[in-house]
Amino acid sequence: MRSQPCMETRRLHENDLELLASAIWLLIPEEDRSDNIASDAYLKQALTDKNCYFILSEIDSTLIGYLSAFRFPAVETTSFQVYLCDIVVDKNFRRKGIGTRMIEELKRCA
């Protein structure tokens, strides 16, 4: 009997550089990626920035979803806003609540 697949959705941290780079290559469509590829140093700097959010979803260690967002101060209030930059789910896993799950994780972290 096959066990249920293990799904994990979490925010990436400083030590997740390879995972972030893999997610960008595997999940962001080629036509949406710039020819000016971010260096490892640039990605590591973004991973250490407390205002940058990178959230991944995996099933059994296979990348299936990617979200990036940025938090910044709202000028009209004394609170913060979060700008959702990218959200993508592998076409084989769409319409299963994965995007919603990543947004919920973003709300929890932000």
- Starting from the edge strand earliest in sequence, which strands make up the sheet with 62-73, in order? 7-11, 52-59, 62-73, 80-89
Pair of tokens at residue 9: 């959705």
Residue 2, pLDDT score: 60
Q: Does domain 7-109 have CATH number 3.40.630.30?
A: yes
**CA distance linking residue 33 with residue 28, whole number of Å:** 7
Question: Can you give the pTM of this predicted structure?
Answer: 0.86
Give the per-residue pLDDT at 33: 75
Predicted confidence at residue 66, as pLDDT, reads 96
DSSP code at position 61: T
Domain extents in the chain: 7-109
pLDDT digits (tens, 9 = 90+) for 43-96: 999 999 999 999 999 999 899 999 999 999 888 888 899 999 999 999 999 999
